[in-house]
Amino acid sequence: MRASYDRPEPRLVPPGEYPLYDEALSQLNRDLGRTVPEHGALRLLATPPCDEGEPECVYVALANGEWHGNPLYLDSAENLAVALAAIADATQ
């Protein structure tokens, strides 16, 4: 019998926890709001780390809470241009 893998329950990342991601996401949401307003604003979700001692995993999620793909690399939250590129890449 195969063990099932339960995806960890994500938490909504509150504003201010990752300030550069907040700013990058705000810029991206402003652009998306002009082109695809029916999708709603993107947001950040975080899940517990997969391995002990590792940082949590931060994802870009749709307004309805759906998320997939790779997490953001936390070192990309140290520079706005890099944060914006990381957020845009994760959004695709």
Q: What are phi and psi of 60, to 5 degrees?
A: -90, 130
pLDDT band for 59, please (50, 70, 90 cuts). Answer: very high
Q: What separation in angstroms does the CA of 59 have from each of 4, 34, 37, 44, 84?
A: 22, 23, 21, 6, 13
Share of the chain above pLDDT 70, in %: 91
Q: Which pLDDT does position 61 carry in this prediction?
A: 94
Count up the domains in the chain and report the number: 1
* Contacts for 50 with CB less than 8 Å, ≥ 6 apart: 57
Q: Give me the domain span that covers residue 77.
A: 11-91
Q: Examine residue 46 and state whether it is found in any structural domain, yes or no.
A: yes
Burial tier of 77 (Cβ tally within 10 Å: 0-12, 13-18, 19+)? buried
Q: Examine residue 48 and state whether it is found in any structural domain, yes or no.
A: yes
Q: Which pLDDT does position 60 carry in this prediction?
A: 95
Q: Examine residue 42 and state whether it is found in any structural domain, yes or no.
A: yes
Q: Examine residue 1 and state whether it is found in any structural domain, yes or no.
A: no
